[in-house]
Amino acid sequence: MSALRWGCGAAGLRWALWPAGRPGLLAEEGALRGIWGRRRSSASPCEQDHRKDWGHAELLEVLETRARQLQADYVSEVAEKRVDMARLPEAGSDQPPRKAQAGAEAALGLSGRWAQKLDKEKRVMQKRKQQLEVKLQQRAEQRAQKQQLRVEPRLLSGQLAARLQQWRLHAPGSPWEEQLAWLLQEAPRRLHSKEQGPMDSMRGEGQQQRLLAFLQCCVLVDQVALAHHVLVMQHGRARQQRRLTLPMYNAVLLGWARKGSFKELVYVFFMLKDAGFSPDLLSYAAALQCMGRLDQDASTIQRCLKQMAQNGLHPQEFFRSVVLCKETQAAVLSAVRKADPTFSLPQPPLPSSQVNTSPLLRDIYDKDCPVSYPRQHLSLKTLKSLFQEQLRMEMATTVTVASVEKAPSLTTELMQARKTLQGLRVRWEAELCRVLRETKAREAHAAHEGRPSLFPYLCLLSEGEFSGLLLQLAVSRLPRQHWEALGVPEAPYEQPWPLPVVVQLGKQLAEVLVQTVKMPGHLAERQGSCKLIPVLYHVYSFRSFRQIGILKPHPAFVQLLATAAECTMTFEAAEVPMLCPPLPWTSPHSGAFLLSPTKLMRSMEGTTQHQRLLEACPPTELHGALDTLTQLGNCAWRVNGRVLDLVLKLFTAKGCPRLGVPAPPSEAPRPPQGRLPQGASPEHKAALRRELARCLKVAREMHSLRTDALYRLSLAQHLRHRVFWLPHNMDFRGRTYPCPPHFNHLGSDLARALLEFAEGRPLGPHGLDWLKVHLVNLTGLKKRESLQARLAFADEVMKDILDSADWPLTGGKWWMEADEPWQALACCMEIAQAVRAHDPAAHVSHFPVHQDGSCNGLQHYAALGRDSVGAASVNLVPSDLPQDVYSGVAMQVEMFRRQDAKQGVQVAQVLEGFISRKVVKQTVMTVVYGVTRYGGRLQIEKRLRELSDFPQEFVWEASHYLVRQVFNSLQEMFSGTRAIQRWLAESARLIAHTGSAVEWVTPLGIPVIQPYHQDAKVLINGGIQSLTFSNSGDTSQKGLTFVSVHDCFWTHAADVPIMNQVCREQFVRLHSQPILHDLSRFLVERFCSGPKSKKARVTRLLDMLLSVPKTGAFNLEQVKRSTYFFS
């Protein structure tokens, strides 16, 4: 609009300066008057004043013309005679009559007064027009000056400013090399009055992060001049200069150095000195790089190197301590060797001789007894091919997968819907490109005014790429050690953009999408017009009493998508399993995918304390975690095609919720049809509302489950004939997880049944027995029986096992009654193949066998407290039969219930016959993870509601009663455990009261910090919405194929005995360490030392931390002989 107004203003100025007698004036004048009349309401006050002046000029010219007309009407004859008589004396003619002469003089006098007045007004207007023209010219020059990028800085130091001006104007030739030498020489004299320190507020730190990211992004997209301009504008204001940091100046220095712009580089050094900073290695690297590109004389480079030496810096550090790209290193090396031809590159550092000192990992990193690490089963040629394929996939950033939904018939309606969608997408792409160009121009204007904007971020991709994104919406050493020994240069760690920048950029792109993507109105209503309507609309909703904004698609567009029934889906490359082994984890930010950035420790967006802890941790302390994650990710997988075929058969029909195959939305319950009858009672209305809410809730849950299954099954079909890998990382507690979220072994029973090891192992002499025991475990039928009894049961039902394997959907369907039906079916198929093989021991099995901990959380607590009673309850003590802690708690609760029922407690009487293992299991399992009585009550309530014959009116009272009795039972059975829990909880509460987040270090050396904290709110205004946002044991030494699902360990059937031995040995080694005393000592050093140590709260905390709970007399060595510790 501003450009349009300036154009109109220029047209008006041209009109005002036209000569009075220009032909066609009146016609053009009328046209221009019409234009100004139509635009007057949108003009600025200043423009309205200008137009008023032009209107006065127009009026004067009209009046002048009218005076001439009057003169012509009244005295045309007299004037002519007067002219003639004036000529007569020369020709000898007579004088005219006096009366006519008098009339002519009167008329001329009248016209003369008009003419004088008009001339006077005209001179005034001409003067005003000249003044207006000067003002407009000055304004245009100011605007052009604003658009022009500033190069020369405005220095706050008068001495520096004068020095710069003197050298720029008066020094002969090109003085910039001398200036640089002078700046480097004087730079160490830092201006102490402007010492830079940490920002007092998070807001200032956030502004620093945004500005640094803006400058770095400008350099990245070759907008160095713009970055320099913004830096100059920020530097020239004293208040804003205080927020500038040395990395900001270095970013622009490196940009100019890459372009070989020496003069601009010196300007930045002037600003750097003006701000009171001394050049660091990156600053000198920029100067030397620029001189190397320009082939400067050796004397200038020598002066630079001499000043470096005086500052305690050495050229070898460019190639050892600073991360520079190869091109930059070559330019720096060229400059250094020009000044010192004898300079040689430092030798690459040898792999660190330091090793992890944890006593738990001593055998792993013992140099005298190297570990046997499992090799990949693929040849080098195959691995190279797989790496190339994975690289291409990550370069493409997305993967297109065919959907496994049943393909609809190609009806006319479907074809028309797909054609409409295609046309809309073509139109949207063109419109998005246009709007993105306008947005980029607007953000560029903001950057030209000296404000960091989104412009460089919008330049990272072309408009077409942005629109596309918007519309989609084996070895004797450990792999990490081998990788480090190869000398592979680690990719420079790229700091992520500040969260405010990410949110602001996303918000801007979302607004572009909402405002641009539209569809014809007739798609929403049959009688609708062809007027375009938005596809997305912005609404508000409430989540936990907070109002949040949501972008929702138009229902007509949702219907169009459903009708078109497109048969492909697009996933991000990092959401799909890898086609090659993951990169070894070598640091907190290097590992897993080839290109896609992955965090070692996953955390909420905007939180940085976990990453800071990891980067501050000595590298050797993280080797245990890094190598564990690498080991887990190196397990190769393949899809169990036989199970997948059966699941797809059910999925494309109507699903089978009983077996975990979600039904399609068409099977969702329908709300009651018809209108509410007149005079309906309030109870009837309330019941109808409840039914409507129930139907809606069930429909949403079915849609969510169906979509989750669709993703998983489509990826399984896509990878059906491939070998793939699942890279791992961990959460803040050190729990490991696969990075691909949709298809992995941490999912449901169905998800686990779809996977098997890509590398097979012969069953050996005992592998078939372990397959049988595993199958019985999956059925859940013999939990309290011995392994021998479970094996005998498997032999008894062998007929059912074989029938399930051969006729899974049409036979006896024995497998469907198991607790984990799909895994049970997969195991039946594996057993059938093994027993029918000529030699079962030689049968190569790919099937993973599980060994599950017996309430592993309570096992660790019982070992920590040496609690003999608790240890016996969770199978830490050898026994002939497995102990089931859940059944034990249920029996204890039942005993309490009987006592209360005899005393007449109604709820205890109602619960008779309903207290079972299933009712209390979840609460017992999660109590070690800090579940409260409130959370436990909700868990028990859910189990009671699943009992069809339990009186629902007693659910609330019964859940309260049961959670109280469960906690009482645990107190009696695990007294030592509960004492440790109370000590930990109270210590954490007191630490929080001191204003700190709880931190500790795990026995493997992983630093942990609790992510529970108050959010710092940041507000981004404007647009469609203002946004507020919140800124364990190792088995690799045995050469096993091994993966874990928390406390459930998987391996080949032949290797189960070895894995069991390792698990028990590592558990005993772990708890032989003084874990509680080490934790107490760490917490005291971390939170009870320093200037705060004398405060009352810290004193109470110190007393609590020093009162470590006493332990019992349980002998840990018994765990090694316990058959059912893991089984």
Stretch (H or E) spanning 893: helix 885-902
CB under 8 Å to 246, separation ≥6 — which residues? 196, 272, 277, 280, 283
CA distances from 739 to 296, 729, 743, 1040 (A): 50, 6, 10, 22
Burial of 407 (0-12, 13-18, 19+ CB in 10 A): exposed
The dihedral built from the CA positions of residue 833, 838, 841 and 844, taken in this order, carries a sign that is: negative
DSSP assignments along 296-349, one per residue = --HHHHHHHHHHHHHTT--GGGGGTTS---HHHHHHHHHHHHHH-TT--PPPPP
Helix axes 975-993, 955-973, angle to 10 degrees: 100
**Distance of alpha carbon 210 from alpha carbon 195, whole angstroms:** 21
**Distance of alpha carbon 474 from alpha carbon 380, whole angstroms:** 11
Check if the beta carbon of residue 987 is closer than 8 Å to that of residue 1098.
no
- Kindly name the residue from 852, 900, 1038, 1092 that is annotated as catalytic: 852
The dihedral built from the CA positions of residue 522, 528, 530 and 536, taken in this order, carries a sign that is: negative
Mark whether 900 is an active-site residue. Answer: no
Other Cβ atoms less than 10 A from the Cβ of 401: the count is: 19
**Three-class secondary structure assignment of 1033-1099:** CCCHHHCCCCEEECCEEEEEHHHHHHHHHHHHHHHHHHHCCCHHHHHHHHHHHHHCCCHHHHCHHHH
Direct distance between the N- and C-terminal alpha carbons of the chain, in angstroms, rounded to an integer: 75
Rg (CA), the chain: 41
Mark whether 1015 is an active-site residue. Answer: no
Supply 878's token pair.
Answer: 């050898």
Mark whether 1047 is an active-site residue. Answer: yes
Cα torsion 1104, 1109, 1110, 1111 to 10°: value is: -160
Check if the beta carbon of residue 546 is closer than 8 Å to that of residue 553.
no
**Distance of alpha carbon 773 from alpha carbon 759, whole angstroms:** 22
Indicate the SS3 state at residue 1020.
strand
Short-list 1082, 1084, 1076, CA closest to 1100 = 1084
Short-list 952, 963, 766, 777, CA closest to 852 = 777
Short-list 983, 1029, 991, 990, CA closest to 1009 = 991
- Kindly name the residue from 627, 921, 1034, 1055 that is annotated as catalytic: 921
**Distance of alpha carbon 180 from alpha carbon 555, whole angstroms:** 65
The one-letter amino acid at 537: Y
Beta-bridged to residue 656, according to DSSP, are: 661
**Distance of alpha carbon 426 from alpha carbon 605, whole angstroms:** 34
| Alpha-carbon 1048 to chain mean position | 30
Other Cβ atoms less than 10 A from the Cβ of 403: the count is: 16
Beta-bridged to residue 1018, according to DSSP, are: 1029
- Kindly name the residue from 783, 900, 1047, 1092 that is annotated as catalytic: 1047
Check if the beta carbon of residue 627 is closer than 8 Å to that of residue 480.
yes
**Distance of alpha carbon 279 from alpha carbon 344, whole angstroms:** 24
**Distance of alpha carbon 980 from alpha carbon 1108, whole angstroms:** 8
| Residue the block writes with tokens 């046997």 | 372
Enumerate the active-site residues: 852, 921, 1047
